[in-house]
Structure 1
Amino acid sequence: MNLPLLAARARLYQSGPTGASIEYVRDNALDTRHLFRASGAYAVAFVDIDGDRFDFAGSKESTPAVVIEVAGSDGHSVIDLLAWPISKPSAFVTMFGRAEILGGRNLFAAATYAFDTPLICYRTPLAWWKAGCTGAVVIKPASAARLLLDAPGTISGEDHAHSVEIAELVRGLFNPARFVTPLSDLGRAA
């Protein structure tokens, strides 16, 4: 049993729903049912951000942020909390540093890849939520790369540049020189 995580989740539950949480959902045209199924609770709360971590407010310089639970790859067990400033959804941080990827359950679900559909990686948790919590968001690039490498299907970013960025994450895990073309194929190409 992880007591710090349980205490943090209790703080999250105490933080919402508030008028600010409801306003955020309305202003961004979000469907909370998707988030509850894919991840869990959310709230708008004041947080203190320090590098790649956050904690619930304790200082006068606190930032209003969206805080959500992050489920593990089983889709049920909450492993961390994720926050992003309301004004900057690309600046997301975790509370404990345990979450590698948001939407990990989608990464290994056969339905994700039905009809040769790729898993879509989103740049931000807000974009993921707007897309109905399908796909995934890379939280910790170094460790998420291993998960992406093990994905059973194809993976896409939000656009070409993002797809290249994601491919570069995985490329660092193996030596591309190990993969060669058979000599017999080289003659055919000429």
Structure 2
Amino acid sequence: MKQRDIFIAFFRSSILGYGGGPSSIPLVHDEVVKRYKWMSDEEFSDVLALGNALPGPINTKMAGYIGYRIGGVFGMINAVIATSVPTVILMILFLNLLYAYKDQPWVKGLSNAVLPVVGVMMLTLTWSFWKKSKESLGLLSGGFLIIASFIATELLHIHPAIVIVILLIAAFTKKGGKKEGEEKERSR
């Protein structure tokens, strides 16, 4: 039953996520966090950050990790197949269709219409993470991290993976320091 759910979750997000990995992330989030409750929002955001830091397609990396976490090695293989096979089949079909009708205005309109939809989906996911970060980090710290990350990636041209790794190290260090401080308080 669990393997079937893993396959359905990643197949559905892959088949409906037109536009690549960024458009699939909110769909994977919906399946993994909201529908099946395999992870919390915080755990999903950690997986997303880790997936962004590694090279390769984000959806496949996330499927592999989440599948492994939920169903072991077979779950990982199952999730990666469920993510990859529909994409390959749809790419072959759509590329043949687009190539056949590439000069038609409706094809150009379709391509232009996808961009705002993906943008809204990513904005919705970002807003969800922002609300969660306000609870854990606070408004000031969360806002500072967003502005600092923007400056680092857009103005200083630091690769996003480096920024993500630095933020992950800072988060783990902060969590470790907080636990040590709590233990010292308890021992007094």
> Normalising by structure 2, what TM-score?
0.25
Higher relative contact order (CA 8 A, sep 6+): 2
- The structure carrying a bigger strand percent of its residues is 1
- The structure carrying a bigger helix percent of its residues is 2
> Normalising by structure 1, what TM-score?
0.25
